[in-house]
């Protein structure tokens, strides 16, 4: 039986190492043809018209939100209301704050850990212009309901899909339901390009806006015929011509060649992750002290959540210390209830109704890793260690509230 259950491990093989070696001989490391190649491969894989690679998933969120402010139909304006789930990563929310949106936090579903659809319905107002759907830990939202809500209320849907590459709902990839969707290719994610992120869209105008804003807001990155600006025939005139407030969040060629190799392996990675999830679920689905995430559609199982219930809910600190002492790496469920973080003081926000489940996640939630190789031994080891902890540590009364 394993005596180490890591949170994240490398998924590179000889193919990735050789791709980097070959690139070093070409003496071209800044964004170039390999980035374009990877973007084409990525858009084809996920059946999206366009893909834009950037230097991180966080930058992908920033660029996607920024782009919505510069469309000709003025899709977003400062002060507009955006509805978000209360549990996600910090950089889901930061672009919303940085662009002056009023953020409305809605509680999550106790089973799926994604936004509570019924509470979302009641949160929508005439001021709501954007809904951010976060597919948490690989798990899809209920996009049949979500997309209809947006269509009926003329609301833009944006997907933060950074934890859910390869997940599907009704045979369609998550990240492609919204007007824009973002992916992360950070080390611990489904594929790794060291650092990296991708935005997909079917909208040509948004695609051109992002091409410009990714590279300083200049016109050089745009095709001759585009939806942003009229380009002069002389390259000299276009070399330093700025038309949009932009950034430098370009990826490197090294990240791109790694992405091309990793994308080839993604189907196998996903199959193994799903097999691991089946085994994990078989052990924990009816556990008396732990509640696990309910799969919606076809999850890509970023990791395995464990929400402590009954007597165990008083003992998360003790349990996580015990797991770490036994070489089982674990983390909170992303940022927990984001409203509880000190950074919230910088936001223009409101809380819709209560964040009861988000608070329970904040105090009773943790997750362990999932990987691209068989984890049967590691999952058995986790199960036995939790069993040992329960047998020796539980001495107090049940929680007054549970997730049941």
Query: Of 259, 293, 316, at which residue does a domain stop?
Result: 259
Please report, for the domain that includes residue 298, its CATH number. Answer: 3.90.1150.10
d(CA 328, CA 6) in angstroms, rounded, equals: 6
Number of H helices, E strands in the chain: 12, 13
In a domain, 235, yes or no: yes
Q: What is the pLDDT of residues 343-375, one digit of tens each?
A: 999 999 999 999 999 999 999 999 999 999 999
Q: How confident is the model at residue 74 (pLDDT cuts 50, 70, 90)?
A: confident
Extract the tokens encoding 300: 């890509």
- What pLDDT sits at residue 402? 56
The answer to whether residues 180 and 76 touch, using CB atoms and an 8 Å cutoff, is: no
Find the catalytic residue in 4, 47, 189, 352: 189
Beta bridge partners of 181: 159, 200
Q: Which helix (DSSP H) or strand (DSSP E) does residue 384 occupy?
A: helix 376-393
Cα atoms in the 13 Å half-sphere on the side-chain side of 198: 32
- What pLDDT sits at residue 299? 98
189 counts as catalytic = yes
In a domain, 80, yes or no: yes
Q: How confident is the model at residue 314 (pLDDT cuts 50, 70, 90)?
A: confident
In a domain, 404, yes or no: no
Q: CA angle 144-150-156, nearest 5°?
A: 125
Residues 200 and 159 in one domain: yes
- What pLDDT sits at residue 235? 87
Q: How confident is the model at residue 398 (pLDDT cuts 50, 70, 90)?
A: low
Q: Residue 127: which of 84, 73, 78, 81 has the closest Cα? A: 81
Mean pLDDT value across residues 67-85: 95
d(CA 340, CA 332) in angstroms, rounded, equals: 13
Say if residue 397's pLDDT is above 80. no
| DSSP states along 78-98 | TT-EEEEESBS-HHHHHHHHH
pTM, full prediction: 0.95
Q: Residue 310: which of 301, 302, 319 has the closest Cα? A: 319
In a domain, 400, yes or no: no
Residues 187 and 292 in one domain: no
- What pLDDT sits at residue 2? 62
Q: How confident is the model at residue 214 (pLDDT cuts 50, 70, 90)?
A: very high
Residues 296 and 248 in one domain: no
Query: Of 207, 241, 259, at which residue does a domain stop?
Result: 259
**Beta strands, E only, 20-117:** 50-54, 81-85, 102-106
Q: How confident is the model at residue 3 (pLDDT cuts 50, 70, 90)?
A: confident
Average pLDDT, the chain: 95
Looking at per-residue confidence, does 111 or 392 come out higher? 111
Extract the tokens encoding 294: 């309910």
Residues 217 and 272 in one domain: no
- What pLDDT sits at residue 403? 56
In a domain, 83, yes or no: yes
The answer to whether residues 392 and 314 touch, using CB atoms and an 8 Å cutoff, is: no
Residues 156 and 211 in one domain: yes
**Beta strands, E only, 63-221:** 81-85, 102-106, 128-134, 156-160, 168-169, 172-173, 180-184, 197-201
| C-alpha distances in Å from residue 221, one per residue of 48, 131, 251 | 20, 29, 14
Phi, psi of 384 (to 5 degrees): -70, -35
In a domain, 23, yes or no: yes
| DSSP states along 176-213 | SSSSEEEEE--TTSSS--SS-EEEEES-HHHHHHHHHH
Say if residue 46's pLDDT is above 90. yes
In a domain, 110, yes or no: yes
Please report, for the domain that includes residue 129, its CATH number. Answer: 3.40.640.10
In the chain, what percentage of residues exceed pLDDT 90? 92
Q: What is the pLDDT of residues 266-290, one digit of tens each?
A: 999 999 999 999 999 999 999 999 9
- What pLDDT sits at residue 400? 56
Say if residue 292's pLDDT is above 80. yes
Q: Which domain covers residue 329, as residue numbers? A: 266-393
d(CA 217, CA 137) in angstroms, rounded, equals: 33
Determine how β-strand 349-351 pairs with β-strand 303-308. Answer: unpaired
- What pLDDT sits at residue 237? 86
Residues 215 and 125 in one domain: yes
- What pLDDT sits at residue 370? 98
Residues 79 and 205 in one domain: yes
In a domain, 9, yes or no: no
Residues 279 and 332 in one domain: yes
Say if residue 224's pLDDT is above 70. yes
Residues 146 and 254 in one domain: yes
Domain count, the chain: 2
Q: CA angle 97-99-100, nearest 5°?
A: 65
Q: Residue 3: which of 265, 343, 332, 378 has the closest Cα? A: 378
Mean pLDDT value across residues 307-335: 96
Residues 177 and 59 in one domain: yes
Residues 246 and 102 in one domain: yes
Query: Of 259, 283, 302, at which residue does a domain stop?
Result: 259
d(CA 44, CA 22) in angstroms, rounded, equals: 25
Residues 65 and 193 in one domain: yes
């Amino acid at each position: 039986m394993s005596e180490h259950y890591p949170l994240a491990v490398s998924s590179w093989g000889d193919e990735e190492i050789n791709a980097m070696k070959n690139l070093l001989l070409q003496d071209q490391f800044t964004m170039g043809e390999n980035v374009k190649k990877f973007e084409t491969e990525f858009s084809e894989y996920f059946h999206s018209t366009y893909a834009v690679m950037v230097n991180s998933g966080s930058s992908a969120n920033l660029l996607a939100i920024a782009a919505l402010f510069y469309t000709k139909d003025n899709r977003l304006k400062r002060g507009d209301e955006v509805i978000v789930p209360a549990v996600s990563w910090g950089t889901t929310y930061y672009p919303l704050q940085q662009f002056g949106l009023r953020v409305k936090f809605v509680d999550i579903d106790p089973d799926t850990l994604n936004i509570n659809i019924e509470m979302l319905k009641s949160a929508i107002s005439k001021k709501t212009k954007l809904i951010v759907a976060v597919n948490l830990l690989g798990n899809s939202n209920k996009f049949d309901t979500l997309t209809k809500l947006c269509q009926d209320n003329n609301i833009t849907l944006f997907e933060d899909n950074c934890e859910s590459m390869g997940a599907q709902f009704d045979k369609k990839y998550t990240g492609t339901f919204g007007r824009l969707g973002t992916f992360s290719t950070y080390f611990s994610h489904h594929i790794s390009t060291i650092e990296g992120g991708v935005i997909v869209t079917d909208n040509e105008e948004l695609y051109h806006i992002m091409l410009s804003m990714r590279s300083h807001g200049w016109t050089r990155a745009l095709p001759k015929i585009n939806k942003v600006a009229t380009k002069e025939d002389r390259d000299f005139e276009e070399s330093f011509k700025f038309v949009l407030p932009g950034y430098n969040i370009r990826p490197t060629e090294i990240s791109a060649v790694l992405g091309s190799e990793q994308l080839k392996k993604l189907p196998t990675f996903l199959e193994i992750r799903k097999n691991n999830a089946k085994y994990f679920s078989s052990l924990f689905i009816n556990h008396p002290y732990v509640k696990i995430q309910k799969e919606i559609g076809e999850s890509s199982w970023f990791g395995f959540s464990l929400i402590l219930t009954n007597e165990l809910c008083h003992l998360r600190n003790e349990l996580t210390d015990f797991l770490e002492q036994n070489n089982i790496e674990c983390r909170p469920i992303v940022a927990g209830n984001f409203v509880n973080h000190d950074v919230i003081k910088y936001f223009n926000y409101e809380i819709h109704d209560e964040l009861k489940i988000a608070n329970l996640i904040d105090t009773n939630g943790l997750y362990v890793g999932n990987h691209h190789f068989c984890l049967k031994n590691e999952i058995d080891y986790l199960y036995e260690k939790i069993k040992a902890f329960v047998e020796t540590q539980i001495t107090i009364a049940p929680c007054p509230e549970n997730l049941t």
